[in-house]
Amino acid sequence: MDENSKKADIKILDNVRKALIKNHFDCEVFLTVDEAKKFIVNKIGRNKKIGMGGSVTASDMSIADILTRNSNKVYSHNQKMSLEERRKLWLKAIDSDFYIASPQAVTRDGKLVFIDGNGNRCAAITWGPKELILIAGKNKITRDQDDGLWRARNIAAIKNNIRLDKKNPCVVSGKCEDCFSPERICNIVTILWKKPNLTKVTVVLINEELGY
């Protein structure tokens, strides 16, 4: 990427940062994944309980592994677990010191868009954990709420359906079909217009393309 494009992207991220702060979120902008990772690890410290929201972005950054090595207890589910095992983990995650997740979209006017299948992540980002750390690459910046919802349904959801090996119609058509499939992963929408009153929220914006 040339320097002019980098400068333009940073300007966009900085404007989004200002909008998020206006909506009472804390926000930091980083040029690289390594810088963002260092910030998150230092912010959390050691001997904390940390819930993970099934974030491809956080997984790509190996955040859970680093935090575990720092003597933190990390609650992170995987698809091999039974539903009951996952449910027990989700309940522990919602009572954590920190909860790490990634929105499907961050709007230019400072809103955060999440779509969920089971609701555990959407529940945790509204109430429960003492502090949220929400990570997003520049690819998740959208014009407004409608554009954010479109991105969540027609980009993020399709990629996640493929990742999870779901046999939903969007995998074939390449667009959201608003299906009635029992495997549907887009059942719940949560939009943070402003920071939840009882939860500290830090949004970490990174000038790289990350996650879905």
Task: Give this prediction's pTM.
Answer: 0.95
Residues of the chain short of pLDDT 70, as ranges, are 1
Structural domains in the chain plus CATH codes: 3-206 (3.40.50.10420)
Beta-sheet pairing, 105-107 with 112-116: antiparallel
pLDDT at 15: 98
pLDDT at 54: 86
Contact status, residue 29 vs residue 205, Cβ threshold 8 Å:
yes
What is the token pair recorded at 142?
A: 């959208």
Per-residue pLDDT tens over the stretch 41-88: 999 999 999 999 989 999 999 999 999 999 999 999 988 899 999 999
pLDDT at 1: 63
pLDDT at 2: 82
Residues composing the chain: 212
Per DSSP (E only), the strands in 45-110 are 49-52, 73-75, 98-101, 105-107
pLDDT at 150: 98
pLDDT at 3: 87
Contact status, residue 25 vs residue 195, Cβ threshold 8 Å:
yes
